[in-house]
Amino acid sequence: MHPLADVPTANRLAASTQKMHLAIMAEQSKRERIILFGVIPVLSAISGSIATVIFTRAAGSGKVDDAIVEILRNQSYSAEDKTKLLTLANASSDHFWSILSTMATFSTVAGMALAWALADWIRRR
């Protein structure tokens, strides 16, 4: 007699195969969740930090610090001139950090929207 002719055996084989398939799918889903909610945020934070450092260097915020040190070292400036120059240097620096903060906010919103869309896509699969 053919093994598939025995219906209970075939049903047990099908049930076993289905359980194994569901276990594999659950493991894949677990990996996807780990990647989505663990790896992606960490990589985003690291890449954001690197981008911030690169942007800071490219924008020359170190020049503002150098200018402040030079103003404080230079004895030829009066106290009023030093105050005015420090105010201007700080205003420039504040403007830079405000732009950087705005860019970070936009990047965060875009990243959250992307993560949400990716999570929906994984749930549908």
What ranges do the domains of the chain cover? 33-124
Spatial distance between the Cα atoms of 93 and 82, rounded to a whole number of angstroms = 16
Q: What is the pTM of this model?
A: 0.36
Q: Read out DSSP for 19-42? A: HHHHHHHHHHHHHHHHIIIIIHHH
Reference 119, options 33, 60, 49, 31; nearest CA is 33
Per-residue pLDDT for 76 more than 80? yes
The answer to whether 89 touches 67, Cβ cutoff 8 Å, is: yes
Q: What is the mean pLDDT of residues 4-29?
A: 67
Per-residue pLDDT for 35 more than 60? yes
Cα 46 to the center of its chain, rounded Å: 7
Q: What is the mean pLDDT of residues 15-34?
A: 74
* Chain segment 47-67, per-residue pLDDT in tens: 777 777 777 766 665 666 677
Query: Which structure tokens are listed for 48?
Result: 């954001």
Work out the pLDDT band at 5, boundaries 50, 70, 90: low
Spatial distance between the Cα atoms of 32 and 119, rounded to a whole number of angstroms = 9
* Chain segment 85-97, per-residue pLDDT in tens: 778 777 766 676 7
